[in-house]
Every structure is written in structure tokens, then in C-alpha cells.
Chains A and B, each alone.
Chain A
Amino acid sequence: AQSVTQLGSHVSVSEGALVLLRCNYSSSVPPYLFWYVQYPNQGLQLLLKYTSAATLVKGINGFEAEFKKSETSFHLTKPSAHMSDAAEYFCAVSLNTNAGKSTFGDGTTLTVKP
């Protein structure tokens, strides 16, 4: 079984400030981990993924995440927030078994203040 917990349903930062969105996972086998972004009335866009290669993963739009096995975490960061980063962010875990089904966290709404 696998699960994901996103700490903080709402995060608010000022433009130019550090963005930190938290994700902890539970999995009985080494997982694949993903961060997706969703804008209103749109589908999920992949930001980045961890699939057992480098533990520090760089994604699109300046985001990156670090896989920490000891902490079972995969937190998403961006050094400097931009107004266009305001959106809903989902962390997800999947395995290479069980038809690759993904389990999503409840999401974090990021607000960026001018």
C-alpha cells in the first residue's frame, strides 16, 4: 500500500520569497514520486519526478525537490516565487506494479502575494 501526506493545505508567500511545499510518503517498496501543478479548470502538469536516480531532482519553472529516504519526504522548493506560480500543487506516489496507479496527496494551494 502507498500513501501521501501534504502538510499545509494552503501556503502563502510573497513574490520573490522561497517556496516550500511539503510532502511525505509511505510505501512498502521503493516508490516513484511526482509533483504536479494544476491551474483552474485545467489538467495536471508534471513539474518533476523521482524514479530512483539522483535524489535532487530539477523540474520545470525553476522548481526542484529532494528525495530523502530517511525522512520519507519529497518536499518541493523554488528559490524565488513568481506570481504565475499561484496554483494547486499535488504530490503523488506510484509503483511500477499494480498497473502503475498513482495515489495523490490532498493538494496544497499556493498563493503568491505582490
Chain B
Amino acid sequence: DAMVIQNPRYQVTQFGKPVTLSCSQTLNHNVMYWYQQKSSQAPKLLFHYYDKDFNNEADTPDNFQSRRPNTSFCFLDIRSPGLGDAAMYLCATRDLRSTDTQYFGPGTRLTVL
């Protein structure tokens, strides 16, 4: 059974049109991460939630926001997507109380037209 679920798997949006990507988990992990992965590059951490505490990486553009309404769900909002935001977006979870491993979802491939 899928433990980290991302919807949709493929998302197409228009330049400047806000878009929201969704991540949910059945693991009850206390940390959720969002990574951006451009073609042939390593995943780059955008931000993470430790319980309800939001932590932004220093170089994450203001165009990217996140919400975590409860333990299970975390959303990535891109307020005004540019062509450079086209990428794979990966969600991951980890429970710092009990595990040493991040569990990744299947990713959402974002296309910006």
C-alpha cells in the first residue's frame, strides 16, 4: 500500500497561473519535506514541516509556499509559476522519533506552458 501519496502525478499549468500540489501520508510521520528536482539534477530541498513548524530553505523563492493543515497532508503552492519552475516535485516524510529514513512519494511532474 502506498505510504506517501502525491496528487496529481502530472500537472500542466500556464505561466503565472497559481497551482497547488498535494502530498499525503499514512505513516503518521512528524516531518514532511518538499523537494524540487529539475531534469538530470539532484533533488533540492525547498522546505519542511516539523510538526506544525514551517522551515524554509534560505534560497527557496518567495513564489513557493506550503501548508500543512494536519499531520497527514502537506501542500505546495506555487503562486505565479514561471517556465523555470517546471520540474519534478517530490514529497518525503520522516519520523525523527523512530526512524532514520525518508520515505518518498512518486512525485508530481509539473509542466509550465
Chain A interface (Cβ < 8 Å from any Cβ of B): 32, 34, 36, 41-46, 49, 51, 90, 94, 96, 99-102, 104-107, 109
Q: CA–CA, A104 to B44, complex, Å? A: 8
Whether the pair A90, B42 counts as a contact (CB closer than 8 A) is yes
Q: B-side binding surface: helix, strand, loop or mixed?
A: strand
Given A44-B104, A49-B100, A104-B43, 14 additional A-B pairs, CB 8 A? A34-B101, A34-B102, A41-B88, A41-B109, A42-B107, A44-B43, A46-B103, A94-B100, A94-B102, A99-B31, A100-B31, A100-B94, A101-B33, A101-B45
**Which chain B positions have C-beta within 8 A of A44?**
43, 90, 92, 104
Residue tally, chain B, CB below 8 Å to A: 26
Question: Are A100 and B102 in touch, CB under 8 angstroms?
Answer: yes
